[in-house]
Amino acid sequence: MTATASERVPPSPELARRVVSGLILAFIVFASIYTVPTFTFVVLVVALLSLWELAGLSARKGQELVFPIAAVAVAAYVVLAGFGLLRRYEAPLVAGTLIASLALSLYGSRQGYFARSAYTLLGVLYIGKLASYFVALRTLPGVGTVYVVASIVLIALTDISAMLVGTTIGRTPLSSISPRKTWEGAIGAFLVASAAGTSLAVVPGLHIPWWHGLLIGAVTSFAAQAGDLVESALKRDARVKDAGSLLGGHGGVLDRFDSYTFGGVACYGALFLTGHIPPH
């Protein structure tokens, strides 16, 4: 039976904790955008904490990833993106990660060799590769700051609208992977973010037509919701409610930033396909 709207509303103490921790996170992230190094550092911290939680999920599945190798590779992805060197060094980075994970996985039990290697590479690509797109957005000359702010706002609007619409009028479950999410919330979030994307047309210096902004908002919102579902699937597979508890009412770092993993790369891709990020 689908829960009623009143049953889905979080208790007041939990909501208060979510609001406070959310405001603190927002302040840290938005303040860091001022310079490329500070933003790269914040993304790096978020990525490594997310990787740590992902390692915990994989451990619950019976085989933890090779964390030292994954952490070095994730850090390399983020730092290289911050210096604008990722395109040059990504191929050897992936190859080196694969070889190192296969080699170090030999020191565990034979039973989990394949899983350790696979989880390690998955963690690097899921966390490091996807996080690097946010940093790549910030490094764009002249427009990087605005693009990063726009992507974060579109993803945040998606998360907030999905929760508000879902708890208010949501009746139809979106997926068995995450029973509390509803089609009404997903559609409402998609429409709000798509409409918000059109506002990019009025930002001075961007020269983004309104329909390009609409497309960017729509693609970003869709991907952000997909990222949320993917992380929910990982947690359900590991039989846990949250990936961690570091952020209190928000759960773990991976719980809070799950929609940003897919949303960031989608926003970058939409800007690139509409011609607002020049080919390298």
User: Tell me: the pLDDT tens digits for 108-156?
Assistant: 666 777 888 889 999 999 999 999 999 999 999 999 999 999 999 999 9
* Distance in angstroms (rounded) separating the CA atoms of residues 87 and 55: 27
Vertex 223: Cα angle to 74 and 252 (nearest 5): 50
Q: What band does 9 get if pLDDT is binned at 50, 70 and 90?
A: very low
Note whether 251 and 244 are within 8 A (CB).
yes
Q: How far apart are CA 69 and CA 127, in angstroms?
A: 13
The whole-angstrom separation of Cα 264 and Cα 258 is 10
Tens digits of residue pLDDT in 187-223: 999 999 999 999 999 998 889 999 999 999 999 999 9
Each domain of the chain, given as residue ranges in start order, spans 1-32+143-280, 35-139
Dist. CA 61–CA 172, nearest whole Å: 30
Residue 182 DSSP SS3: strand
- pTM beyond 0.95: the answer is no
pLDDT digit string, tens, across residues 76-92: 999 999 999 999 999 99
